[in-house]
Structure 1
């Protein structure tokens, strides 16, 4: 544990730092991060000034370098967090499977666990990992951690049930070597709970833009109108990463026909792309989709492209901006993404929503506080 009683964490495959930002909000002190992506690393370094960033493939990173960067010795780290690249397991990758080199990177995470000996481990990935290779990766992760002396469990979490305005599923592995129970965060939003956070809750206060417009950093459209807007704005005075991609005239014409909650089915047949003219009405359900103010977003991907999903603004005829995508991912407004705009979208789409990360971090801290010698406290925690 860090000086001052802070719990410590190192983030592997950190990307821009969505998971570590969530853990930081829950009370962890982020000491170091690693990723091979140059622009994501630049964002992590800028937004995590208290942490050391080690760039490059994880295969080239030694635990000695990580411990030196973190200022720790083996066995002193509280929690190792991270999400090995998920493209090999994504349902959007139709060739997904264990043959993909990226599907083996979880073994590097296990190597780091073995050599760092953290008290807690948290790994996340897409739910497609449960079916790729008949679940071989999941079995290997569970057995690998157990062989290293960790009690471990897994659970699929729905981001929208924790206040994120987006339909997003992630499988989360949590383990510890302390004999503590494994706790997962309880849902806070949904039926019988707080209503889901909507698209309006998320982006309704952001400045209006024309197709292709870029005003640089600019002020807000309105005062914060929802608790979610207040939370993510904090003390920010300007809106960063808020510029609209320029869409072709034909797409501008198509958008005129798409209402809120609509999609490619609302576009006149003669305006459809040739490939979609041959599509069945049940195909491509999210293509050319327009968001609804009162609904949730589809999963934010590494491209908020109208050919990929429902990424049209509810009212304005344009695709959502990086900042709007970041809001839907629950990044705070001060969190500035570095690099070309295409790379910024990649960073946002690859990230764990910080609000989900925060809930996971809080669950770890709650479990860590349990005195395993007190069976009544242990039973109460597991029942909660």
Structure 2
């Protein structure tokens, strides 16, 4: 059984990597971000990258690129850009042109007629117009013959060392049952993957340091590090930290593991935070703890906005550390500037979450196939 997929709004290809781990052949990825496209091409050699606005991508081009005729594709996946939906964007709304990009996704669904669809987005999608975006997505897909269910998935429940909540839509037009992945980590299951599990084997670097490809500080231990070093990874790329100014270095020196801006002496606080209540901004200038989970990895691991300070070293986490916290294996090398690399990492679906989604769809396909055989 050949399982095929196309990934729209693919970015660097985190969801694609997860689907490939689950046994799917990803045939193409579509995105406008040039640096992410280079990463996608380098890490998904069997797939073709289409670098253009999605509104310019035709069904004919997808058929020619992938060799798959309409109705024959297994999964059409994608997460329309999330900025318009994010709780960090206080101007979000259905009028935002980015909030209607899912209509382009629907256009391609209609043209390619995949058996299954997967859409991923941020929690903020629920609050647009009191749920208008969610209702619109499901209603439009139903018009095209797809039954769809959405569910909030917690990345840490699938082995990702990070607290991350995402809304995942799964649907099909073939009458198969729909369900979402069952957690594998948590109470009564496998233990959560901690920050130490994720990045404890990486070499120490200084604030602003970029030594290029480096080896590991110690042998791999634990399932996650063995997973990260799969494909015989012997060197680490993208282990590069941003250069923080002298005042931020002084601030970090006062913050213990698990601490935050509240631990910074008053005279060293940014002007705006001198007026803040101590109950506000709980994650700002947060230092990670080895035995905890990371906060949500964003497109900027800016210590001023979140808990992105290394557990022991007075610096922000490197691109590679952010990638590990997003469950990217080390063979996944990110292209572009360091800023571009952080954006690619922060925008991605964690591959382990993508793998869980892919495995669940594969199970549903196999169950549906067995039911058809039994009924004949």
TM-score (norm 2): 0.97
CA positional deviation for 1:6: 2.3
1:169-226 CA distances to partner (integer Å, 9 max, x unpaired)? 0001111111100021100111111111000000000010011111100100000122
User: Aligned match of 2:87 in 80, 84, 91?
Assistant: 91
Partner of 2:45: 49
CA positional deviation for 1:373: 7.8
Question: How many residues are aligned here?
Answer: 373
**d(CA) in 1 for partners of 2:299, 2:288:** 17
CA positional deviation for 1:372: 6.9
1:105-164 CA distances to partner (integer Å, 9 max, x unpaired)? 000000000000000100110011011121111011101111111121111100000110
For structure 1, which segment, 344-353 or 364-373, has the greater mean C-alpha deviation from structure 2 after superposition? 364-373
- Long gaps (5+) in structure 1: 379-384
Q: CA RMSD in A?
A: 1.3
**d(CA) in 2 for partners of 1:288, 1:48:** 36
Contact 1:180 1:372 in 2 (8 A): no
Mapping for residues 85-164 of structure 1, pairs under 5 Å: 85-164=81-160
Partner of 2:188: 192
1:66-110 CA distances to partner (integer Å, 9 max, x unpaired)? 111111111111110000000000011111111211000000000
Is 1:366 the counterpart of 2:360? The answer is no
For the residue of structure 1 that corresponds to 2:254, the secondary structure is coil
Mapping for residues 1-384 of structure 1, pairs under 5 Å: 5-234=1-230, 235-371=232-368, 374=371
Structure 1 residue runs of 4+, over 4 Å off? none
**d(CA) in 2 for partners of 1:222, 1:273:** 38
CA positional deviation for 1:63: 1.1
Contact 1:163 1:189 in 2 (8 A): yes
For the residue of structure 2 that corresponds to 1:172, the secondary structure is strand
For the residue of structure 2 that corresponds to 1:74, the secondary structure is coil
Contact 1:263 1:289 in 2 (8 A): yes
**d(CA) in 1 for partners of 2:169, 2:16:** 16
**d(CA) in 2 for partners of 1:213, 1:74:** 49
**d(CA) in 2 for partners of 1:123, 1:369:** 21
For the residue of structure 2 that corresponds to 1:173, the secondary structure is strand
TM-score (norm 1): 0.95
**d(CA) in 1 for partners of 2:228, 2:85:** 31
- Long gaps (5+) in structure 2: none
**d(CA) in 1 for partners of 2:94, 2:69:** 34
**d(CA) in 2 for partners of 1:371, 1:224:** 40
For the residue of structure 2 that corresponds to 1:293, the secondary structure is coil
